[in-house]
Amino acid sequence: MTDDAYLVLLPGTTTALGVPPAAVGDLACMDTPAVQAWLQAQGVTADSPELRLVPPEETAAVPEDAERLPVPLGDEELSRLRHHAAPPDLARLEEELLAYRTCTDGRNALLTRALAAGVPAHRVAELTGEDLATVKAATG
């Protein structure tokens, strides 16, 4: 397995491999001279229906004779690619996990602020659903 994602041309196939690059949103690699030259050499544009972006863990499934170009993606870009490449049920679960992460970011800071403001620990536990020991541990 490689650490790079790949831009792949899959003309005339019905393979559901990867995703169209546009589905992932803005990708820094698409504006690089290397990618632009590769697209031009292949005679396609960035929105060509044959062009797919394949995450690193799926590159083994790319047909041997397919034209391909390794492209480095940032962590956020790779996360978006994996999200769009996931089956719909998994993508929905991933969205829930991201929402959970967003809700829990700063949890300890919020607990500490509430306790410092005078909200009793048992009330913080009741309101947040956190264990009382967890609430008390947030202060220190």
Structure confidence by residue, pLDDT tens digits, 35-57: 999 999 999 999 998 999 999 99
In this prediction the pTM is 0.70
Residue 70: its H or E element = strand 68-71
Structure confidence by residue, pLDDT tens digits, 77-95: 999 999 888 888 888 888 8
105: exposed, middle or buried (C-beta count within 10 Å: 0-12, 13-18, 19+)? exposed
Residue 85: its H or E element = helix 75-85
